[in-house]
Amino acid sequence: MTTYVVRPTGPLVGALEMPGDKSISHRAVILGSLATGKTTIRGLLEAEDVLSTISAFQAMGVSIHRRPGENCRIVGVGLRGLRAPRSDLDLGNSGTSMRLLCGVLAGQTFRSTLTGDQSLLTRPMERVTTPLQKMGASIRVSAGGVAPLDIEPVSRLNGMDYRMPIASAQVKSAILLAGLYARNRTIIREEVPTRDHTERMLEGFGYPVDRHTSQTVLQPDGALHAADLTIPGDFSSAAFFLVAASVVPGSRIELHGVGMNPTRTGLLDILQSMGAKIEINNSRTAAGEPVADLVAESSDLRGVDVPAALVSRTIDEFPVLSIAAAHANGATRISGAKELRFKESDRIATVVAALRSVGIEVSEQPDGMVIEGGVIQEGTVDSRKDHRVAMAFAVAGAGAAGVVRILNCANVATSFPDFAKCSQRVGVKLREEKTA
What's the first-to-final CA gap in the chain, in angstroms? 6
CB count in 10 Å sphere of residue 406: 27
CA–CA gap between residue 86 and residue 275 (Å, rounded): 54
Beta bridge partners of 157: 182
CA–CA gap between residue 264 and residue 236 (Å, rounded): 8
CA–CA gap between residue 26 and residue 55 (Å, rounded): 12
Which residues lie closer than 8 Å to 360 by C-beta, 6 or more apart? Answer: 326, 371, 372, 374, 376
Which residues lie closer than 8 Å to 134 by C-beta, 6 or more apart? Answer: 160, 162
CA–CA gap between residue 165 and residue 175 (Å, rounded): 13
117 classed as catalytic: no
Catalytic pick from 316, 382, 386, 418? 316
Residue 102, H or E segment? helix 95-105
23-35 burial, b for 16+ CB within 10 Å, e for fewer? Answer: bbbbbbbbbbbbb
269-295 burial, b for 16+ CB within 10 Å, e for fewer? Answer: bbbeebebebeeeeeeebbbbbbbbbb
Q: Which residues are designated catalytic?
A: 316
